[in-house]
Chain A
Amino acid sequence: MLWCRDAVFVQGGYTLSANLKVKANKVTAVIGPSGAGKSTLLGGIAGFVTQQSGTLSWNDLVINILPPHKRPISMLFQDNNLFPHLTVMQNVALALGTRLNPAPDVQNRIEDVLTRVGLKDLANRKPATLSGGQQSRATLARALLQDREIMLMDEPFSALGPGMKAEMLDLSVELAKAARRTIVMVTHDPADAARVADEVIGIVSGNAWAPIVTKQFLNNPPKPFINYLG
């Protein structure tokens, strides 16, 4: 379980309070109006946003004292997920270490994960030569290979078309669930939450609400979210 206990995250002049528990091995969507603090919450959990107070723990491990790379978290950012000067293979290899020419056994693992996301034949291509969907697949492959228990998704597929976005979301959730990951994903679209999320965290006015079962959240939303959800 990921537990934000009285956590306060500060970014610029913006403050977000979070007191919530995210269930392990489940998909939790983060929903709220633009500028409400969805990315701040994910940035705070990942360690990129200053945590002013409170504790953040994963199971029994307090993680807010750890730097980003030591937390059990892999993150898919909204953009700049791939280094443009490295090939797909090299970008994905970074999940396992800093060798850009990995040893044969590591290479096999990379090829395996690239096969799972459908990019095996594009391993030696650079990101600029890939479509948006293919770039997303490469990012997903690296996150899967990172072998960390929590996967944070800060709208990594927002630049894709609706069909491709839905396809990538389904693929991410399917592969991440198979790898027993806990997913926390930001979304603007309640339909995304309805399709893949077990629970929903609503964010409004600088407060992150405790997760509510998706169906309940969408059918009978808390008062502050009624207008947003329409």
Chain B
Amino acid sequence: MAQRTFTIITALVVAGLVIGPVTAVLWHGGGITVLSAADLSALQFTVWQAFWSSLISVTLAVPVARAFARRSFWGRSALVSIMGAPFILPVIVAILGLLSVFGGNGFVNVFLEPLGIPKLDIYGAHGVILAHVFFNLPLAIRLILQGWLSIPSERFRVAASLNAPIFKLLEWPMLCRIMPSAFAVIFVICIGSFAVALTLGGGPKATTIELAIYQAFKFDFDLSKAASLAVVQLCLGLGVGLVALLLARGDMLGVGFDRVVQRWDGSLLLDTSWIGLATLFLLTPLVAIFVAGLSGLTDLPISIWGAALRSLLISLGAVILTMLLALPLVTKAGEVASLLGLSVSGLVLGTGMFLIIQPYVRPSSVALPVTMLVNVLMALPFVLRILRPNMEAAKNDFGRLGQSLGLQRWPLWRIVYLPRLRRPMGFAAGLTGALAMGDLGVITLFSRPGEGTLPMAMYQLMGAYKMEAAYGAALLLVGLSLGLFWAFDKGGRAHAVV
């Protein structure tokens, strides 16, 4: 009962943090306006690109995740971590990397030109989809890989000894459980895409709702239109999010003792090829940034270190707050409540928060805490999606045992749930920290010069055409984002395997 009360209070806090700012924007904007033809076109494009981005990401992730699940090789664990990099890479940095590979003067076009093949154009709808696949393929791989790891390894031994069809018997049921929810999660992410659409999309044919909201704020300062679009996005995101929850079943295939056993099925050549291709696709842009950024490190202005420290503080604060909010919400109802944060534009959330606090404090003085809070709300649905299936499994497998031993409340969490959640919590904390570290959203609208975050400092260097330093800042940002992710993910995995 006490736990349910705690869940309800936390859910109400989260709902209030989302609904309050949206209401504030609506209030200041004077209510909802009718959407124009351009807005409807943005809505159509948003859904279209989100559908294809999700479908391609999830479809490609299946063979890659399977290859990782059944192959054991030196550096596998490091490669799995590194392959997660694009999803946690600061968007602006990643787009620079993608441009250096697929852009007009990128590696691919330099290779294609002598062959007489027309140049690839990364700008437009297909560029948006390419970038979304680049960002979301790692997430899909990780989600599906977690699904594979949730199958007790002993089952594979049983299937192998029976010469049973492993795919049909063990893998397909797991995929049916994981794939629809992975699709829906990526769909929600792509609906809220801003930086990708801003840099690679735009124009009447490739404008997302988030971009339309930004334009309404930035160019027209039309709060009413921005709020109306935000409501459309809220409904769309919430609808898809609820579908994702309905599709996601918490039940696992059983529990094993987490032993790693050898697999006897599959083609080594095929698995190696999938891992190789995915690695090439996901890591080449990172390598490009690394090469260009290395020489720029010496050009970094001293102010960049202050910005890096502020980003680090925002990031660590976001991790702590997200985990504190997530643990009471690891239920279906809690996950539904958290979806509110993902369904609303980060720009609208931030603006709403500033409108609420404006009468009491100067917005720029709380730019960093507000940025942190927006990041917490955006990260919460991901964190809960990662934690909930594991929590359900822990409850199913050990709930009765815990009850029979009289474990309740904190001792139950300390002895049973937290150790069982340690691994996914590490992953979720890493994700939250890295995403907050690379966020370039609300902060751009409200922070004072010289008091911004590292992504913002990098953005300003780019605006000042100090490209060498910008690449250096990009490399620093990548290092901090990945380092943070790695540290939390590793921390979670250490001692988690029996």
Residues of B within 8 A of A84 (CB): 257-258, 498
Residues of A within 8 A of B257 (CB): 84, 127-128
Residue among A47, A73, A83 facing the most chain B CB atoms (10 A cut-off): A83
Say whether B204 faces chain A, with CB atoms less than 8 Å apart. Answer: no
What 0/1 pattern do residues 389 to 400 of B give for CB contact below 8 A with A?
A: 000000001101
Question: Can you list 16 A-B pairs, Cβ within 8 angstroms, ordered by A?
Answer: A47-B403, A69-B403, A69-B404, A69-B406, A69-B408, A73-B404, A77-B400, A80-B400, A81-B401, A83-B415, A84-B257, A84-B498, A85-B420, A86-B415, A98-B411, A100-B415
Q: Is the CB of B498 within 8 A of A94?
A: no
Q: Is the CB of A98 within 8 A of B419?
A: no
* Pick from A80, A98, A100, A146: contact of B401, CB under 8 Å: A80
Say whether A188 faces chain B, with CB atoms less than 8 Å apart. Answer: no
Q: In the complex the two chains form, what is the Cα distance from A70 to B408 in whole Å? A: 12
Known: A80-B397, A128-B257. A98 touches B404 (CB 8 A): no
Residues of A within 8 A of B416 (CB): 83
Nearest-neighbour CB distance to chain B for A133, whole angstroms, equals 15
Residues of A within 8 A of B397 (CB): 80
Give the contacts of B380-435 with A (CB-CB under 8 A). 397-398, 400-401, 403-408, 411, 414-416, 419-420
**Chain A residues engaging chain B, CB cutoff 8 angstroms:** 46-48, 67-70, 73-75, 77, 80-81, 83-86, 94-95, 98, 100, 126-128, 146
Q: Is the CB of B401 within 8 A of A128?
A: no
Residues of B within 8 A of A98 (CB): 407, 411, 414-415
Nearest-neighbour CB distance to chain B for A4, whole angstroms, equals 19
Q: Is the CB of A77 within 8 A of B415?
A: no
Nearest-neighbour CB distance to chain B for A41, whole angstroms, equals 15
Residues of A within 8 A of B415 (CB): 83, 86, 94, 98, 100
Q: In the complex the two chains form, what is the Cα distance from A69 to B412 in whole Å? A: 13
Nearest-neighbour CB distance to chain A for B418, whole angstroms, equals 10
**Chain B residues engaging chain A, CB cutoff 8 angstroms:** 255, 257-259, 397-398, 400-401, 403-408, 411, 414-416, 419-420, 496, 498
Residues of A within 8 A of B404 (CB): 46, 48, 68-69, 73-75
Q: Is the CB of B398 within 8 A of A80?
A: yes
> What is the predominant secondary structure among interface residues of chain A facing chain B?
loop
Minimal Cβ-Cβ distance residue in B for A126: B498
* Pick from A68, A80, A85, A126: contact of B403, CB under 8 Å: A68
Closest 9 A-B residue pairs measured CB to CB?
A69-B406, A98-B411, A128-B257, A85-B419, A128-B498, A68-B403, A84-B498, A94-B405, A80-B397
Residues of A within 8 A of B403 (CB): 47-48, 67-69
Nearest-neighbour CB distance to chain B for A105, whole angstroms, equals 20
Nearest-neighbour CB distance to chain A for B193, whole angstroms, equals 39
Nearest-neighbour CB distance to chain A for B281, whole angstroms, equals 36
Residues of A within 8 A of B255 (CB): 80
* Pick from B259, B406, B420: contact of A128, CB under 8 Å: B259
Q: Is the CB of B398 within 8 A of A48?
A: no
Residues of A within 8 A of B419 (CB): 83, 85-86
Residues of A within 8 A of B401 (CB): 77, 80-81, 83
Residues of B within 8 A of A70 (CB): 406
Residues of B within 8 A of A126 (CB): 498
Residues of A within 8 A of B405 (CB): 69, 94-95, 146
Q: In the complex the two chains form, what is the Cα distance from A74 to B406 in whole Å? A: 11
Q: Is the CB of A83 within 8 A of B398?
A: yes
Q: In the complex the two chains form, what is the Cα distance from A75 to B414 in whole Å? A: 22
Residues of B within 8 A of A127 (CB): 257, 498
Nearest-neighbour CB distance to chain B for A188, whole angstroms, equals 21
Residues of B within 8 A of A83 (CB): 398, 401, 415-416, 419
Minimal Cβ-Cβ distance residue in B for A94: B405
Residues of B within 8 A of A69 (CB): 403-408
Residues of A within 8 A of B400 (CB): 48, 68, 75, 77, 80
Q: In the complex the two chains form, what is the Cα distance from A17 to B89 in whole Å? A: 60
Q: Is the CB of A85 within 8 A of B498?
A: yes
Minimal Cβ-Cβ distance residue in B for A79: B255
Q: Is the CB of B258 within 8 A of A94?
A: no
Residue among A48, A73, A75, A80 facing the most chain B CB atoms (10 A cut-off): A80
Q: In the complex the two chains form, what is the Cα distance from A86 to B498 in whole Å? A: 9
Known: A69-B406, A98-B415. 5 other contacts (CB 8 A): A48-B403, A68-B400, A83-B401, A94-B415, A146-B405
Nearest-neighbour CB distance to chain B for A58, whole angstroms, equals 16
Residues of A within 8 A of B411 (CB): 98
Minimal Cβ-Cβ distance residue in B for A128: B257
Q: In the complex the two chains form, what is the Cα distance from A69 to B405 in whole Å? A: 6
Q: In the complex the two chains form, what is the Cα distance from A126 to B419 in whole Å? A: 14
Residues of B within 8 A of A75 (CB): 400, 404
Residue among B259, B401, B416 facing the most chain A CB atoms (10 A cut-off): B401
Q: In the complex the two chains form, what is the Cα distance from A74 to B403 in whole Å? A: 11
* Pick from A47, A81, A128, A146: contact of B258, CB under 8 Å: A128
Minimal Cβ-Cβ distance residue in A for B257: A128
Minimal Cβ-Cβ distance residue in B for A82: B401
Q: In the complex the two chains form, what is the Cα distance from A86 to B414 in whole Å? A: 12
Residues of B within 8 A of A68 (CB): 400, 403-404
Minimal Cβ-Cβ distance residue in B for A70: B406
Q: In the complex the two chains form, what is the Cα distance from A47 to B404 in whole Å? A: 9
Minimal Cβ-Cβ distance residue in B for A67: B403
Nearest-neighbour CB distance to chain A for B387, whole angstroms, equals 16
Minimal Cβ-Cβ distance residue in B for A80: B397
Q: In the complex the two chains form, what is the Cα distance from A98 to B413 in whole Å? A: 11
Residues of B within 8 A of A85 (CB): 419-420, 496, 498
